[in-house]
Homo-oligomer: A and B are copies of this chain.
Amino acid sequence: MPTPPRTSLAEIVTAGRHILEDEGLDGLTMQRVANAVGVRPPSLYKRVRDRGELVHLILNDVAHELAHTLDAAAATGDPRRDLRAMADAFRAFAHRQPQAYGLLFARLPEDWRPDPGLVARASQAVLRATGGLADGRHALEAARTVVAWAHGFITMELAGAFRLGGDVDRAYAFGADRLATAVASTADAGGSAQRSRR
């Protein structure tokens, strides 16, 4: 005799996301998730292979949202303005959900991590902006430099690593400004004169 479903994958993932944010990764237990969606723990395994897959699905959700957030922030078309807007949106996103953000680039088991494609998609907007700022040869390296800085800053901030005083907001603004300039600069050691062969 068929039994009607008492929950759904989507409900499980969103419940899991809330629990993750409230209790941290260790607090994200199958029992708590089951409780939140109104079933017993074994029932979750009808929708999800194991706890790792649940984490994976949650992080996919987060990565997807991050991509959308960055796309929305880069609105002006002016690379430098867009880069700054994305940096601020990126940080705000991380502050809104520090636990989930902290896991986005964490050292997790391979199959827990978000799909590489989704993470790549999130960095596309950044790549577009740096492409308009740096010369073409260095667009990818420039994007990586900017994203690395932003991610590192936010991670350290959220981990409470900035305890030498000073204004953290100003330090972020300082970094964003200097990074944009640094990445746009065409002065590099190896002789940079751009040779067009046309």
Contact = CB atoms under 8 A, between A and B. Distances in A.
A11 interface: no
Interface string A55-81: 000000000000000000000000000
Interface string A84-111: 0000000000000011001001111100
Contacts of A152: 147-153, 155
Interface residues of A, number: 53
Given A140-B164, A155-B152, A187-B181, A175 B107 contact: no
A138 B102 contact: no
Interface in A15-52: 24
A159 B116 contact: no
Tallying the copies of this chain within the complex gives 2
Interface string A108-148: 11000100100110010001000000000010111011011
B156 A148 contact: yes
A151 B152 CA distance: 5
A185 interface: yes
A45 to B, nearest CB: 20
A158 B159 CA distance: 18
Contacts of A123: 164
A162 B123 CA distance: 10
A2 interface: no
8 contacts: A106-B159, A119-B163, A140-B165, A141-B166, A144-B162, A145-B178, A148-B150, A179-B182
